[in-house]
A and B are shown apart, each in its own frame.
Chain A
Amino acid sequence: MNIRLCNKELSPLQRRTMQLFGANLGFTAVLSLATHDLVKDMHPSALFIYLTALLPTIPVVGIVVVVSRYLARETDDFIRMLVVQSLLWGLGITFVLDTYLGGLFSHPQIFRLIPILNIDLFCVSVGIAVRIQLWRNR
């Protein structure tokens, strides 16, 4: 099934951006879990921990590059404005939820159900914001 944006097929640029965005998001989650398990099982040196902790940041930088590239190449000003507004909403929601969850999980009696990555929160927030923006401007 083809993904549709603004009731029309995605442009090659939009399709490529979505694919790269999703791939980088997946890599971030996989690398975060993998490095966490690696460090937990191996009892490595502090230097190794610092270096492996850097690994999941690589696809996060990738996401920034992918989004920057998209914004630079998107020729439709209105769609670009909607995406930028959605990114700002995503940042705002991520900050709010991160502050809330950070405060919540700092209490030992609160059981931490799942490891939540800020990048996941951000991407989900941006996705929801984009859908709302497109619905409002349908």
Chain B
Amino acid sequence: MKNRLRVLRAERDWSQADLADRLQVSRQSVNAIETGRFDPSLPLAFKLAKLFSTPIEQIFSDEE
């Protein structure tokens, strides 16, 4: 699954650690999601959408 997390994070000038703190997860989780090695759970995806004030489908797409 592809995502725009890195772009959205960069737009806000947040580091991975900043985003991890806001999501209350480890920095490794953010890194794994950004690099596509880990797909977040639905609650975490909703949390991301709420944090970036963006619909989930604008953050994640099912392209390989």
B interface footprint on A1-28 (CB within 8 Å = 1, 0 otherwise): 0000011100000000000000000000
- With A and B bound together, what is the CA distance between A10 and B24 in angstroms? 13
Residue among A79, A134, A137, A138 with the most chain B CB within 10 A?
A: A137
Q: Does B44 contact A (CB under 8 A)?
A: yes
CB distance from B18 to the nearest CB of A (A): 13
Whether A137 contacts B28 by the Cβ 8 Å rule is yes
Whether A137 contacts B44 by the Cβ 8 Å rule is no
Q: Which of the 9-residue segments A55-63, A70-78, A88-96 touches chain B?
A: A70-78
Q: Does B38 contact A (CB under 8 A)?
A: yes
Q: Given A6-B27, A78-B33, A137-B37, 7 other A-B contacts at CB below 8 A? A: A6-B28, A8-B26, A76-B29, A77-B38, A77-B44, A134-B28, A137-B31
The one of A7, A76, A134, A137 in contact with B25, judged by C-beta atoms closer than 8 angstroms, is A76
Whether A75 contacts B24 by the Cβ 8 Å rule is yes
Whether A81 contacts B26 by the Cβ 8 Å rule is no
Note all chain B residues with C-beta closer than 8 A to A8: 26-27
Whether A6 contacts B26 by the Cβ 8 Å rule is yes
- With A and B bound together, what is the CA distance between A45 and B62 in angstroms? 66
B24 to chain A: closest residue by CB = A75
Note all chain A residues with C-beta closer than 8 A to B36: none
Note all chain A residues with C-beta closer than 8 A to B44: 77
CB distance from A74 to the nearest CB of B (A): 10
Whether B41 contacts A79 by the Cβ 8 Å rule is no
Note all chain A residues with C-beta closer than 8 A to B28: 6-7, 78-79, 134, 137-138
Note all chain A residues with C-beta closer than 8 A to B8: none
A interface footprint on B22-51 (CB within 8 Å = 1, 0 otherwise): 001111110111000110110010000000
CB distance from B49 to the nearest CB of A (A): 16
